[in-house]
Amino acid sequence: MTGHATVPPARPVRESKSEMTQIVLPNDTNPLNALLGGTMMHWIDMAAALAAHRHSHQFALTASIDHLDFLVPVRVGEIVVLRSSVNRAFKTSMEIGVRVSVENYIAGQSRHVSSAYLTFVAVDAKGTRLRVPPVIPETDDERRRYEDALRRRELRQAEAARRKLMQGQG
């Protein structure tokens, strides 16, 4: 069931942009002093939630996360920077992009660690889905991400249909 049938006014991508930073401490790492993947996943989810809340002005719940690769290890003492924004809004859901980089402030280096696409759904306090504002992409990069988000959504829906069919056969 979907609540509040009226479509909220559109909002530009820039209003959802968020940045989160974390310093990697020993408690965040594995025995090889590399950041735990689960910790990185948690931070990605939190960064995406910030963008979802800023865009929808509602409670927003994680519905899914696409494929996630860890490109380089992140070590104790390094600074992790997570940048997020809404790529596209659908009826009650939003695709959020998160780019993760790591800064080694001693060496003066920044490296790309991971990128992720998450789907969030806006809900009220009872869990009823709510309409979300459309997104207004303003830059060439935002327009590209807006168009790419539709293609990713179509792929996610096809994969969900495939899994449902496979469950019915099992």
Q: Can you give the pLDDT at residue 2?
A: 56
Residue ranges covered by each domain of the chain: 2-169
pLDDT truncated to tens, each residue of the chain (170 aa)?
A: 555 568 899 999 999 999 999 999 999 999 999 999 999 999 999 999 999 999 999 999 999 999 899 999 999 999 999 999 999 999 999 999 999 999 988 899 999 999 999 999 999 999 999 999 999 999 999 999 999 999 999 999 999 899 988 888 86
Q: What is 2-169's CATH number? A: 3.10.129.10
Q: Can you give the pLDDT at residue 67?
A: 85
Tallying the residues shown for the chain, one arrives at 170
> What is the C-alpha separation between 17 and 83, in angstroms, rounded?
7
Q: What is the CA radius of gyration of the chain?
A: 17
3-state secondary structure the chain: CEECCCCCCCEEHHHCCEEEEEECCHHHECCCCEECHHHHHHHHHHHHHHHHHHHHCCEEEEEEECCCCCCCCCECCCEEEEEEEEEEECCCEEEEEEEEEEEECCCCEEEEEEEEEEEEEEECCCCCEECCCCEECCCHHHHHHHHHHHHHHHHHHHHHHHHHHHHHHC
